[in-house]
């Protein structure tokens, strides 16, 4: 399959079991951004965190990654990723399915890809998974490696950019989109209250709430600790 044919890369037959995450506009935007940049993946070693139903795993395989490790938090979630990849990419022999808690997994990679939990992160700091990427993804990335993920304006894109830069990354936005709130946002009062505190987190136009989505590419700049550092 030609790696620059984005439609072919994104054509997928996906199924989900009870409890699997059904892709939202975040996942759709990330898939499109990945497919528009095959040069970031071809021949590279990739770690995907939270593969879900495989909506990014499959495009990554099709774009010719060298090796792909895709993780999930539970064995049954990981089985869904495997089932969908095996049906859509029956020839693929370079995919490893791991059950792992976020970045607590081994290996050195050229790219880390994720659609991190946010609105339903289940953490006191709702940004926990994004913050964890900014602080610790470097442990899995080779120098010059790329951390690529999607987030909402409500997760504070300015804060993310600042934290990535503080942690040695050069930041680009690969793609953005705007769309109305998901219904489940309104069902979570605490979420709605928190989001009001985020500057430029959302806009209301004609009574409709809109968020903006961003696909972030953060390139880990080479760096060595000074002599004598702990």
Ligand X SMILES: C[S@@+](CC[C@H](N)C(=O)[O-])C[C@H]1O[C@@H](n2cnc3c(N)ncnc32)[C@H](O)[C@@H]1O
Instruction: Give contact residues for ligand X (rule: CB under 6 A).
Output: 21, 23, 27, 49-52, 55-56, 71-73, 77, 101-102, 115, 117
| Residue whose C-beta lies closest to ligand X | 50
Contact in structure between 16 and 82 (CB atoms under 8 Å) = no
173 forms beta bridges with: 216
101 versus 199: smaller Cβ distance to ligand X:
101
Which element (helix H / strand E) includes 33? helix 25-35
Going by C-alpha positions, the residue among 29, 91, 81 that lies closest to residue 216 is 29
Shortest reach from residue 116's CB to ligand X, in Å: 7
User: For residues 24 and 161, which CB has a smaller minimum distance to ligand X in the complex?
Assistant: 24
Q: Are 215 and 30 a contacting pair, CB within 8 Å?
A: yes
CB 62 within 8 A of CB 2: no
Quote the least distance from Cβ 206 to ligand X, whole Å.
Answer: 29
Task: Select 50 or 145, whichever has its Cβ closest to ligand X.
Answer: 50
- Per residue in 27-40, is it b (16+ CB within 10 Å) or e — as a string? bbbbbbbbbbbbeb
CB of 229 to ligand X, least distance (A): 30
- Considering the complex, what minimum distance in angstroms separates the CB of residue 205 from ligand X? 26
DSSP string, 114-152: E----TT--SSSTTHHHHHHHHHGGGTEEEEEEEEEEEE
| Between 81 and 167, CB nearer to ligand X | 81
For ligand X, which is the closer residue by CB, 128 or 168? 128
The structure tokens 């030609």 sit at 2
Residue 126 beta carbon to ligand X: minimum distance, rounded to whole angstroms: 13
């Amino acid at each position: 399959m030609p790696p620059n044919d984005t439609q072919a890369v994104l054509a997928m037959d996906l199924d989900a079991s009870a409890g699997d995450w059904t892709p939202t506009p975040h996942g759709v935007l990330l898939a499109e951004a990945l497919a528009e940049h095959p040069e970031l993946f071809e021949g590279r070693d990739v770690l995907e965190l939270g593969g879900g139903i495989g909506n990014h795993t499959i495009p990554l395989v099709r774009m010719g990654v060298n090796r792909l490790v895709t993780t999930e938090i539970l064995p049954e979630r990981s089985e869904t990723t495997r089932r969908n990849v095996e049906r859509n990419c029956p020839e693929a022999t370079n995919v490893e399915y791991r059950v792992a808690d976020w970045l607590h997994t081994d290996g050195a990679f050229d790219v880390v890809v994720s659609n991190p939990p946010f609105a339903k992160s289940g953490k006191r700091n709702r940004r926990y998974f994004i913050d964890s990427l900014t602080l610790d993804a470097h442990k899995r990335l080779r120098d010059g490696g790329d951390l690529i993920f999607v987030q909402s304006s409500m997760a504070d894109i300015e804060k993310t950019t600042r934290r990535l830069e503080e942690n040695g990354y050069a930041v680009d936005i690969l793609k953005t989109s705007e769309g109305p709130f998901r219904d489940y946002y309104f069902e979570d009062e605490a979420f709605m209250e928190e989001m009001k505190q985020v500057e430029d987190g959302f806009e209301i136009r004609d009574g409709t709430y809109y968020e903006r989505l961003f696909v972030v590419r953060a390139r880990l700049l080479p760096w060595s600790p000074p002599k004598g550092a702990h």
